[in-house]
Amino acid sequence: MEAYEITLCVRHADGSWSARPIWVVTVTGESYVRSAFGERSAWYRRARTCPAALVEAGGAVYEARLDLVEDAGLIDRVSAAYRAKYGPSWPGPAETMTGPEAAGTTMRLTDVRQVT
């Protein structure tokens, strides 16, 4: 997804959805997101329990799955993409998004399918 920011919706235990704006980057044609607050973030913990997600971007809604990335080389490329995309305008937050706590929460959006 080439969007600057998306709205990511993840499920609560009761089945309801929780939405939040989040930065997204693309590496070799695939989209990635991270938790700025690492594993402390509620949306990240929910996504690890139930990887189904809804994504709103560019006026469209997509169903997707969030899969944890564990490949160190890919995590480094995603960090580089965050620095390149957000660093010039938001250097402090971009630094947070590329730090070890956030990098450990790198998730790939897979099975992306537009629904509206």
How far, rounded to the nearest angstrom, does the alpha carbon of residue 21 sit from its chain's CA centroid? 10
Interacting residues of 92 by C-beta distance below 8 A, sequence separation 6+: none
Q: Check residue 61 and give its pLDDT.
A: 97
Q: Check residue 21 and give its pLDDT.
A: 97
34-79: pLDDT as tens digits: 999 999 999 999 999 999 999 999 999 999 999 999 999 999 999 9
Q: How far apart are CA 71 and CA 48, in angstroms?
A: 17
Q: How far apart are CA 103 and CA 24, in angstroms?
A: 13
The pTM is what?
0.95
Sequence length of the chain is 116
Q: Check residue 103 and give its pLDDT.
A: 98
Interacting residues of 56 by C-beta distance below 8 A, sequence separation 6+: 6, 7, 9, 19, 62
- Give the residue extent of every domain in the chain: 5-114
- Is pLDDT at 94 greater than 90 in this prediction? yes
Q: How far apart are CA 61 and CA 54, in angstroms?
A: 7
Per DSSP, the three-state class of 90 is: coil
Looking at CATH, the fold of the domain delimited by 5-114 is given as Pnp Oxidase; Chain A (2.30.110)
- Is pLDDT at 1 greater than 70 in this prediction? no
Taking the chain, what is the end-to-end CA distance rounded to the nearest angstrom? 15
